[in-house]
Amino acid sequence: MYHIGLIALEEQEGQLNQWRNKLPGDWIIRFIEPDKELNLEHIDLLLYIEETSSQIGEICEKLVSLKDKSDFLSWVWIQENNRMNRLVYLNLGADFVAYSDMNQAEWLLIMTNAIKRNQKKMSYQNFDLKKESQKLELIERNNSVLLGGEKEVLLTRIEFRVLNTLYDHPKVTVSYEELYASVWKDNRVEDKSYRLSNIIFHLRKKMGVVPNTPEFIKTVRSKGYMLDI
């Protein structure tokens, strides 16, 4: 079962139904709003639909803006087999450009094989990331963190909650709003921004007790924080 994100500038509902008929029944297909900031973490392949050649500019813009958001594959589907348009899309980072006259069994096999290869590559990267993250291990029963496999640092309950949220998203920016929601369930809590920055300050101070260890918590200006492991 694979997850396909569909971007169509026109006839959105119609395109969604068409692709549900073209792709295997156990694949999950959902429409992606091109002008909204979305979590694309669980998308295996993003499919841009070019219904007319006049849409090439908009599709190129979306292709460039979304290409670095995650590790999904990017395909473009064009109605006419225009060599120049294919080269434009490929130069901008599209992994493949298919066209309506292409044999369905052929492009579906290419798509399936590409997703499988990409998932295998990602599994290797995740394995390497897991080995890397062993430099920092959370111990929930103690509300503590083990640094470098040698030094256990005790945290307050709220410090542990913040660090745990960042730990669940390694090398990904976690927004201030996400951190607020994970730490304070009560929306009436005041001065969240100040309190969060104070918690991060104390976490950095506590986690700096082991010599020659890197600064794990990075500030992503105007966005949030990232655990760099």
Q: Any idea what the CATH number is for the domain that residue 43 is in?
A: 3.40.50.2300
Inter-residue contact 161 to 182 (CB < 8 Å): yes
Digit-coded pLDDT (tens) for 132-157? 545 778 888 889 998 877 788 899 99
User: How many structural domains comprise the chain?
Assistant: 2
For residue 209, pLDDT over 60 is answered with no
DSSP code, position 149: T
pLDDT in tens, 166-201: 998 888 898 988 888 888 876 666 778 888 999 999
Pick from 33-47, 57-71, 89-103, 148-162 the range whose average pLDDT is largest.
89-103
Residue 124, pLDDT > 70, answer: no
**Strand, helix or coil for residue 138:** strand
Query: Quick one: 95 and 65 in the same domain?
Result: yes
Kindly state whether residues 146 and 212 are assigned to the same domain.
Answer: yes
Residues 172, 120 share a domain: no
Q: What domain range includes position 39?
A: 3-130
Q: Are residue 84 and residue 43 in the same domain, yes or no?
A: yes
pLDDT at 202 over 60: yes
Q: Do 14 and 105 sit in the same domain of this protein?
A: yes
Confidence of residue 127 (pLDDT cuts 50, 70, 90): very low
Between 43 and 113, the more confident residue is 113
Taking the model in full, what pTM does it have? 0.54
Does residue 59 register a pLDDT over 50? yes
pLDDT score recorded for residue 108: 95
| DSSP secondary structure letters along 118-178 | HHHHHHHHHHHHHHHHTTEEEEGGGTEEEETTTEEEE--HHHHHHHHHHHTSTTSPEEHHH
- Mean pLDDT of the 6-24 span: 85
**Can you tell me the mean pLDDT for 207-214?**
59
Q: Are residues 58 and 124 located together in one domain of the fold? A: yes
- Residues 67, 174: one domain? no
